[in-house]
């Protein structure tokens, strides 16, 4: 891949990170919900074959599937699908992988989103645990871009930022 700064270059620098990503990222919110694993793998293969390198997911993706008529799960399914796909890739370093933390995971998501602070949010404890869980599901030893999915008004921003 060659990287440049002109507007016709298909790759752009991701902020000040030093990472260069394809201008069109691949979102995976539907993986494990309305898109099954085989088709998801085909989509990622086609995306990479056409120059794509930026895949976005989140720890909670597809946890809402049962409420929308899809398969019941506690979240993490999109990450698991991507993880199984990543194990087949020969150049993990060519993929810029982004995932997110914040949303509720597990039973409390299905139970009217009742809040158990140890299973959601942006506390140091939850971010650390959620990151370890995402690494396991993604079957990789690093995440290129780890993001807060949305704010957590119950946790001081300093605590969140000190952990990210």
As annotated, the active-site residues are: 61
Q: Do 87 and 101 contact (CB within 8 A), yes or no?
A: no
**Measured CA distances, 27 to 40, 44, 103, 151 (Å):** 11, 10, 17, 20
Pairwise CA distance, residues 58 & 122, whole Å: 14
Q: Do 31 and 73 contact (CB within 8 A), yes or no?
A: no
**Measured CA distances, 40 to 83, 137, 150 (Å):** 11, 16, 25
Give 38-84 as a DSSP string. Answer: HHHHHHHHHHHHTT--EEE--TTTTTTGGGGTS----S-HHHHHHHH
Task: Read off the tokens for 136.
Answer: 């396991």
């Amino acid at each position: 891949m060659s990287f440049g700064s002109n507007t016709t270059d298909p790759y752009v620098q991701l902020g000040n990170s030093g990472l260069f990503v394809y201008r069109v990222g691949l979102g995976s919110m539907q993986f494990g919900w309305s898109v099954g694993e085989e088709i998801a793998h085909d989509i990622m293969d086609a995306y990479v074959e056409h120059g794509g390198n930026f895949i976005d997911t989140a720890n909670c993706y597809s946890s809402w599937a049962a409420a929308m008529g899809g398969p019941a799960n506690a979240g993490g399914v999109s990450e698991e699908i991507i993880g199984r796909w990543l194990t087949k890739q020969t150049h993990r370093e060519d993929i810029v992988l982004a995932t997110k933390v914040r949303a509720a995971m597990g039973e409390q998501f299905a139970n009217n989103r009742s809040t158990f602070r140890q299973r959601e949010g942006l506390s140091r404890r939850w971010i650390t645990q959620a990151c370890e869980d995402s690494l396991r599901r993604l079957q990789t030893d690093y995440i290129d871009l780890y993001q807060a999915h949305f704010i957590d008004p119950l946790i001081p921003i300093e605590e969140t930022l000190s952990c990210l």
